């Protein structure tokens, strides 16, 4: 991989294990659903069972994956449902500006609607041609490859359309609201113009 493909402050590790906060949830296919709610065009919202979700159109993307802890995994191939196809099946209301991605156990991450709809953003079921492993998000996970990895929510269960921004799990705990690795948007204090790290 060309060095200029690596965002500032990132390196390629020799190997890498799964990264997450808390335990790996068990998949219960009969209880599982994916909900799209909040500022949906249809006030009733949307819900797919596992079988229903498997019937959505499928896409693929290949992208580098950047974790804020500084490792980058080059050229990961993902397959699943594109955010564009999800939004077509579950259209947001005109006022929707942001999206909250919800996982099992209450983990969440917010992204701007434009970031959600970027090319390459997927609700992934497969990685390198194989079903996701439990540690990597089985049965589905977000892949938002142009932002730091904490936005790529594993064990995704709901997509909430927002009419104003709200911070997710890490965004409330000192991490940057946008998370663009190319401009090293790592920490929330960087959102404050002209300010350095807080003096503790």
Ligand X SMILES: Nc1nc2c(c(=O)[nH]1)N[C@H]1C(S)=C(S)[C@@H](COP(=O)(O)O)O[C@H]1N2
- The residues of the shown chain that bind ligand X, judged by CB under 6 A, are 18-21, 67, 103, 107, 136, 149-150, 152-155
Q: Which residue of the chain is nearest ligand X when measured via CB?
A: 149
Residue 115 Cα distances to 14, 100, 130, 145, angstroms: 29, 12, 26, 10
Instruction: Rounding to the nearest 10 degrees, give the CA dihedral for residues 179, 114, 54, 45.
Output: 110
> What are the φ and ψ backbone dihedral angles of 25, each rounded to 5 degrees?
-75, 155
The strand pair at 122-127 and 33-38 is best described as unpaired
Q: Which is nearer to ligand X, 10 or 82 (CB)?
A: 10
Q: Which is nearer to ligand X, 20 or 47 (CB)?
A: 20
User: How near is the Cβ of 8 to ligand X at its closest, in Å?
Assistant: 17
User: How near is the Cβ of 41 to ligand X at its closest, in Å?
Assistant: 27
Q: Which is nearer to Mo ion, 96 or 151 (CB)?
A: 151
Q: Which residue of the chain is nearest Mo ion when measured via CB?
A: 67
Radius of gyration of the chain (CA): 17
User: How near is the Cβ of 6 to Mo ion at its closest, in Å?
Assistant: 16
Q: Which is nearer to Mo ion, 149 or 181 (CB)?
A: 149
78: its two tokens: 């993902």
111: its two tokens: 């992204």
The residues of the shown chain that bind Mo ion, judged by CB under 5 A, are 19, 67, 149-150
156: helix, strand or coil: strand
User: How near is the Cβ of 20 to Mo ion at its closest, in Å?
Assistant: 8
């Amino acid at each position: 991989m060309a060095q200029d493909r690596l965002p500032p402050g990132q390196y390629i590790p020799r190997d890498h294990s799964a990264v997450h906060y808390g335990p790996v949830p068990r998949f219960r296919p009969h209880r599982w659903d994916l909900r799209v709610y909040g500022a949906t065009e249809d006030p009733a919202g949307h819900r797919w069972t596992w079988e229903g979700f498997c019937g959505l159109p499928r896409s693929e993307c290949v992208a580098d994956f950047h974790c804020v802890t500084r490792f980058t995994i080059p050229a990961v191939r993902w397959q699943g449902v594109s955010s564009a196809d999800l939004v077509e099946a579950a259209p947001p209301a005109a006022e929707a500006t942001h999206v909250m991605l919800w996982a099992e156990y209450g983990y969440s991450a917010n992204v701007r609607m434009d970031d959600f709809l970027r090319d390459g953003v997927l609700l992934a079921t497969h990685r390198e041609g194989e079903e996701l492993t439990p540690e990597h998000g089985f049965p589905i996970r977000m892949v938002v490859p142009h932002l730091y990895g904490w936005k790529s929510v594993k064990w995704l269960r709901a997509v909430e359309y927002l009419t104003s921004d709200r911070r997710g799990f890490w965004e409330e705990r000192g991490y940057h609201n946008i998370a663009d690795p190319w401009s090293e948007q790592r920490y929330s204090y960087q959102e404050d113009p002209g300010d350095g790290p807080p003096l503790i």
